[in-house]
């Protein structure tokens, strides 16, 4: 029993040391892997970690590389970078600004609308914030906008790409939650769980994403009424007004067609997210060609940017695989299970604790870092408490959107600071984003109290046959599994050609720790730690199945 306690202490120290290493500036992927290896050696010296667990790493890495769902990541990145190079954002900002500019607060409304359109077509926060900072921010300041309102609108609108589909963040979240839901249902004895796909999460995020757009617009209108001097109207010439309708149509129709093609093919079931990503990449090239921007130089730069962004993301995934393996091997997963299961308020208290942790980490870490460190550890426990996976994914997505806006490492703030005019200070930017962070938290409260805002559309589009609690995601006492446990085909549910991210991160190897004794741990799970470890390591059908899969070496 002493060895198990030592392992849990080491798991906590590993988590804290990894967060600290990232915060002081070490590369994320190397911090995740390096700290994990150090604590693995320490754990082995104390007899709480078995080095043979590392034999599963090659199959994890191979599973990540052949995962068909994750092929959508570089394709969507390519689509976003190509659209950014095709100057579509520039045309949208200029025409939409003139369309709404004559209204008080109209420029701010146009920035929010363009941010939503760019989010649904590019999804790249950095490029969106920089583009709007270069074009819209100077125009807003010239029109007499308050610098705090102008910078807040630009930063908040630029981060909509994290929650509005097709979002790369939602792809990773959907893949992790799909595997976590399967694991949770199998552990509860449901051997035919309905799958949860990236398409489900895309559908679930549609209404909350549009709700955020409306909330931002509502705030700008409120400022125009309460403080008219903060957002005066834009003065336009007669010639600009005369040619405006044609310019609006020419700027608006191409990205709308691309959005309809990509999201429409996913939500209608015609194509999987990966297939629709290829449609989007091809459509972005065609739009660039119509704008005479599809040159060899631009294509080379787009491919280089796509390669760099995708490599950065997947290197972090590989580092996170080592972290999760060591964290599990030290007994950290069972410790998390004990803590969350013992939270006051049941599933609601557990979800609230995880959301609070993610919000605080968002001040210091990037979205992907939080997803790949925290979600694989906590999601199986939360879903085991009958939390709806779609609702949970949307809540995480909206929560982590704030990580781009909260200092000291809010990346949207850095992007805007780099392109803002000299008269805009860092204080203007920091004070400007405070109301929008509050609005996002208000949106989270609404999604919490009205879970159907995230679960209704997936049920309408894909049906109600899933074995998860839809109506009350955070009250496990109100329901259980659906009566119809029919299993849909794997292709329709997960479109995965290999192991999911969570499979790769959490593995599923035999977790019986060396020199482990049976006994109580004093946790809140209602079972002694040694007994629960014995069940997890040797008596669980789920772990046996996953163990066999992990140890299968590709030909």
Domain range list for the chain: 1-66, 68-305+321-467
pLDDT value for 555: 41
Q: How far apart are CA 161 and CA 243, in angstroms?
A: 30
For the chain, 555 residues long, the average pLDDT of each consecutive 10-residue run is: 74 88 82 91 90 85 80 86 80 83 87 88 76 83 90 91 86 87 82 80 93 95 92 80 84 86 85 87 89 88 89 84 87 84 88 92 83 88 90 93 82 84 88 93 94 92 53 37 34 41 47 38 37 38 40 40
Distance between the two ends of the chain, CA-based, in angstroms?
A: 40
Spatial CB neighbours of 524, under 8 Å, sequence gap ≥ 6: 338, 339, 341, 342, 343
- pLDDT tens-digit series, residues 336-365: 888 888 888 888 999 999 999 999 888 887
pLDDT value for 485: 32
What's the chain's length in residues? Answer: 555
- pLDDT tens-digit series, residues 467-521: 343 333 443 333 333 333 333 333 333 444 444 555 554 444 443 333 433 333 3
- Scan for tokens 């093919």, then name that residue: 265
Question: Of 412, 392, 390, which Cα lies nearest the Cα of 401?
Answer: 412
pLDDT value for 526: 37
Q: How far apart are CA 532 and CA 504, in angstroms?
A: 23
Report which DSSP code applies to 233: P
pLDDT value for 442: 94
Report which DSSP code applies to 193: P
Longest CA span, the chain = 83
Sequence-separated contacts (24+) of 445-453 with Cβ below 8 Å = 446/211, 447/208, 447/391, 447/394, 447/395, 447/398, 448/395, 448/474, 451/388, 451/391, 453/207, 453/208, 453/211
- Token pair in block for residue 36: 């994990």
* pTM of the predicted structure, to 2 decimals: 0.75
User: With contact defined as beta carbons under 8 Å apart, do 166 and 277 qualify?
Assistant: yes
On the question of a cis peptide bond just before residue 179, with omega within 30 degrees of 0, the verdict is no
- Scan for tokens 């798991």, then name that residue: 11
User: With contact defined as beta carbons under 8 Å apart, do 54 and 325 qualify?
Assistant: yes
């Amino acid at each position: 029993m002493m060895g198990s306690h030592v392992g849990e202490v080491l798991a906590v120290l590993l988590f804290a040391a990894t967060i600290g290493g990232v915060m002081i500036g070490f590369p994320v992927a190397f911090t995740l892997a390096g700290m994990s290896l150090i604590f693995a050696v320490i754990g082995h010296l104390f007899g709480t970690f078995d080095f043979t667990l590392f034999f599963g790493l090659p199959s994890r890495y191979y599973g990540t590389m052949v995962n068909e769902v994750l092929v959508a990541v570089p394709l969507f990145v390519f689509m976003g970078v190509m659209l950014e190079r095709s100057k579509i954002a520039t045309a949208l900002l200029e025409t939409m600004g003139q369309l709404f500019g004559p209204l008080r607060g109209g420029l701010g409304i146009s920035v929010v609308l363009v941010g939503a359109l760019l989010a649904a077509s590019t999804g790249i926060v950095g490029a969106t914030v920089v583009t709007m900072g270069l074009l819209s921010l100077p125009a807003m300041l010239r029109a007499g906008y308050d610098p705090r309102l102008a910078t807040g609108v630009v930063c908040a609108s630029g981060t909509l790409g994290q929650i509005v589909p097709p979002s790369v963040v939602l792809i990773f979240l959907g893949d992790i939650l799909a595997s976590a839901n399967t694991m949770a249902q199998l552990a509860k004895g449901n051997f035919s769980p309905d799958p949860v796909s990236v398409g489900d999460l895309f559908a679930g995020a549609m209404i909350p994403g549009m709700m955020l757009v409306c909330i931002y617009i509502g705030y700008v209108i409120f400022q125009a009424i309460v403080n008219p001097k903060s957002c005066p109207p834009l003065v336009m010439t007669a010639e600009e007004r005369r040619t405006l309708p044609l310019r609006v149509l020419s700027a608006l129709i191409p990205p709308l067609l691309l959005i309809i093609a990509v999201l429409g093919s996913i939500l209608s079931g015609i194509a999987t997210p990966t297939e629709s990503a290829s449609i989007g990449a091809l459509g972005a090239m065609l739009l660039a060609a119509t704008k005479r921007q599809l040159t060899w130089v631009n294509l080379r730069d787009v491919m280089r940017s796509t390669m760099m962004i995708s490599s950065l993301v997947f290197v972090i995934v590989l580092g996170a695989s080592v972290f999760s393996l060591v964290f599990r091997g030290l007994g950290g997963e069972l410790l998390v299970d004990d803590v969350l299961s013992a939270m006051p308020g049941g599933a609601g208290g557990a979800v609230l604790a995880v959301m609070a942790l993610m919000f605080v980490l968002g001040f210091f870490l990037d979205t992907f870092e939080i997803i790949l460190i925290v979600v694989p550890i906590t999601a199986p426990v939360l879903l085991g408490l009958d939390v709806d996976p779609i609702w949970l994914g949307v809540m995480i997505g909206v929560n982590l959107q704030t990580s781009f806006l909260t200092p000291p490492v809010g990346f949207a703030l850095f992007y805007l600071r780099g392109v803002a005019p000299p008269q805009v200070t860092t204080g203007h930017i920091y004070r400007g984003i405070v109301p929008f962070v509050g609005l996002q938290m208000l949106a989270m409260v609404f999604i919490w109290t009205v879970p159907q805002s995230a679960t209704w559309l997936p049920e309408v589009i894909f049906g109600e046959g899933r074995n998860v609690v839809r109506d009350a995601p955070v009250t496990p006492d109100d329901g259980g599994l659906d009566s119809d446990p029919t299993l849909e085909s794997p292709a329709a549910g997960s479109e995965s050609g290999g192991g999911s991210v969570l499979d790769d991160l959490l593995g599923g190897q035999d977790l019986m720790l060396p020199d482990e004794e049976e006994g109580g741990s004093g946790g809140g799970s209602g079972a002694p730690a040694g007994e629960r470890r014995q069940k997890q390591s040797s008596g669980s059908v789920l772990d046996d199945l996953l163990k066999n899969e992990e140890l299968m070496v590709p030909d």
